[in-house]
Structure 1
Amino acid sequence: MDATPAVRLDGVSKQYADSYAVRDVNLDIAAGQFFSLLGPSGCGKTTSLRMIGGFTDPTEGAVLLGGEDVTALPPNKRNVNTVFQSYALFDHLSIADNIAFGLKRKGVDRAEIRRRVGEMLELVQLSGQARRRPRTLSGGQRQRVALARALVNRPAVLLLDEPLAALDLKLRRQMQVELKQIQREVGITFVFVTHDQDEALTMSDRVAVMNEGRVEQCGTPEDVYEHPTSRFVASFMGTSNLMAGTYRDGAVVLDQGPALPVGQRDGMSDGTTVSMSVRPEKIWLSDFEPGMEVLRGVIRETVYSGPTTTYLIELAPGVTLSVLEQNTARARMEDRWIGGETVEFGWRPEHCLVLS
């Protein structure tokens, strides 16, 4: 089995004047993977994507596609295609002609073009719409046309630069599922740029979380969410209760508040400045198990969000935790806590993360 990565960034940096947009990034993206570059605006994810596509030249390092160094090659010499946020469709052309545009420029014969365009229309569920113009389509349909136009060229790697950002929330969630299904069906490596954590978790086989031009952590969605390796990743990947303190004798002594037992931590010595993290959905408000650390606090805010209710609980002055509870079929409105009530809450020791 060939283990050559579909994409390799080898010590890649991009410098503008005195600042770095990307700094010393090393990434291997396996063939057939749905890989996401995730991070806030300005973290370097789009610059990294553009260097893979050949639209931006790295200041240092090398870009390899399928084991071949393509750092010096222009975009049209790389076996990649890109789907942009704007879609960049030609409104004067039909859907079919938009999809066929790249094939015609390559001189592919008409019969082959018709066959491949028909395959793509079926793949993106637009069969029977071939003669329509892009301006008559919905946002989701336009996104499908842009995807088909890129895939019809059979690239080894498809680059996607926040292609769902312009869609409303409901359609965006629908397209997330469809895009992942299409990627599995065609088996092409997708490199997807997004600032949306839920999007990356939903769609990706692997995620690289970027911050200030560097990769902070790379792994499966489960690894990155459940086992963040830095304070930034813990705070950026969903909601996390981060509390600053000092590790001492198997507990974190909060800067503001009590000492919270966390158990002995390998390689961590007393006096280490740490951040302690517990996800809101990992905190229990009832039915505590043996071995749980049970605390008391005061409800300061109750936020109803349909499927869930979030409680903001004051543990100590200046220390407020977010607790997420599912609104199950057995839950009643009158059973929810209200502001000012004192409650007990706790968590399993293994769900408490301590970051030095």
Structure 2
Amino acid sequence: MTPTASSHHTTPADSTPTSTTAPTKTPAPAVRLDGISKSYGDSHAVHELSLDIAPGEFFSLLGPSGCGKTTTLRMIGGFTDPTDGTVLLGGEDVTALPPNKRDVNTVFQSYALFDHLSVADNVAFGLKRKGVGRAEIRERVGTMLERVQLGGLGDRKPRTLSGGQRQRVALARALVNRPQVLLLDEPLAALDLKLRRRMQVELKQIQREVGITFVFVTHDQDEALTMSDRIAVMNEGHVEQCGTPEDVYERPSGSFVASFMGTSNLVPGTYRAGRIAVDEGPSLPVGTRAGIADGSRVHLSVRPEKIWLSDFEPGMVLATGVVRETVYSGATTTYLIELAPGITLSVLEQNTARSRMEDRWAGGERVEVGWKPEHCLVLD
């Protein structure tokens, strides 16, 4: 008899049941840039750049002026057409779509607020254009103003607000539309240092709360390190290195990233048999370095905060130099120490509760410096 749909089908005890669970599907990247380029005549603003940005990620494009980071952001937003390559949002090819057809919003450095409208009307602007109902607009605008700490200020005009408050209005206006991706083009650049640092923390908290993918453009290394899940360090239209803040700071891929990400001592020399002969200076042990041939011209890279001036431990790399400058900066003191003619190390020391002014090294004094071998990089 043929079993009916309600019949029970038993599996023999010695057989293995076949799993019917479907494999977990990996979500498409929130943003995928596939070999995008932007050229102006013979000049390449961006050259064959490929990146994947995950859903819910705070991703920063970092680099000096003219490196292509803003052009890249504009190509994601649809404000600039790529010369070559493809832009995908959530797996959908949007390369040919105009900005208003892409599920993104942008916060510009200038904020671009409407001064004749109230704060609430500025935030509601995009919702009204989409035809959202009045009750829903009122609820979503009120919730978003509370989230950016502007509750109770909805009736104010933007011109009556501080710089930090205006920045929050621009952010609320973009977020209230619930875009798939939020693009931010140096939105904190116009703020003073103290307010900018506070807004960095608040912006990251807001991003975690709303869960929207943020793509953030900045030339400020500290800003990128503070807020980002990952950072793409750009130079001359391409990505030099992409990774977590710790990756790009502690393990730079080359001399450009090492010098651009904060302060790094780059000491030129020649690598041979596990040592670097510093130009007109000492020969320093660095151990065997894979991929670097004997006789190669290299840079020894070590961060100022990784260098010791006393209490050396066994196995440290030691060198002797002369103090050329002492710079007191409140929480820290920086020493510039000459190892050889034209080769100076920057050494950063914390000023702790036990630090005394009379214990600081003075110009002209001969000192010994040291660092752990794992804290130095050899950059080919």
Return 5+ residue gaps in structure 2 as ranges: 1-24
The within-5 A match list for 1:30-109 is 30-109=54-133
Are the counterparts in 2 of residues 8 and 64 from structure 1 also a CA contact under 8 Å?
A: yes
Indicate whether 1:197 and 2:210 are aligned.
no
What do the CA deviations read for 1:311-342 (whole angstroms, capped 9, x no partner)?
A: 00011111110000000111111111111111
Are the counterparts in 2 of residues 36 and 204 from structure 1 also a CA contact under 8 Å?
A: yes
The ranges of structure 1 where at least 4 consecutive aligned residues each deviate by more than 6 angstroms after the TM superposition are none
What do the CA deviations read for 1:263-322 (whole angstroms, capped 9, x no partner)?
A: 111122201111110100000011111000111111100001111000000111111100
Return 5+ residue gaps in structure 1 as ranges: none
The separation in 1 between residues aligned to 2:106 and 2:63, in whole angstroms, is 19
TM-score normalised by structure 2 residue count: 0.93
The separation in 2 between residues aligned to 1:291 and 1:254, in whole angstroms, is 20
What do the CA deviations read for 1:25-67 (whole angstroms, capped 9, x no partner)?
A: 0100000000000000000000000000000000000000000
The separation in 2 between residues aligned to 1:142 and 1:178, in whole angstroms, is 14
What do the CA deviations read for 1:79-115 (whole angstroms, capped 9, x no partner)?
A: 0000000000000000000000000111111000000
Are the counterparts in 2 of residues 297 and 313 from structure 1 also a CA contact under 8 Å?
A: yes
Are the counterparts in 2 of residues 243 and 277 from structure 1 also a CA contact under 8 Å?
A: yes
What do the CA deviations read for 1:137-159 (whole angstroms, capped 9, x no partner)?
A: 00000000000000000000000
Aligned AA for 1:67? Answer: G
Counterpart of 2:15 in structure 1 is none
**Number of aligned positions between the proteins:** 356
Counterpart of 1:262 in structure 2 is 286
Measure how far apart 1:256 and its partner are: 3.2
RMSD over equivalenced CA pairs, Å: 0.7
Q: Which is greater in Rg?
A: 2
Counterpart of 1:234 in structure 2 is 258
The separation in 2 between residues aligned to 1:59 and 1:230, in whole angstroms, is 28
Counterpart of 2:331 in structure 1 is 307
TM-score normalised by structure 1 residue count: 0.99
Picking from 175, 192, 199, the partner of 2:199 is 175
Indicate whether 1:129 and 2:153 are aligned.
yes
The separation in 1 between residues aligned to 2:134 and 2:177, in whole angstroms, is 14
Identity, in percent, stands at 81
What do the CA deviations read for 1:219-248 (whole angstroms, capped 9, x no partner)?
A: 000000000011100000000000111110
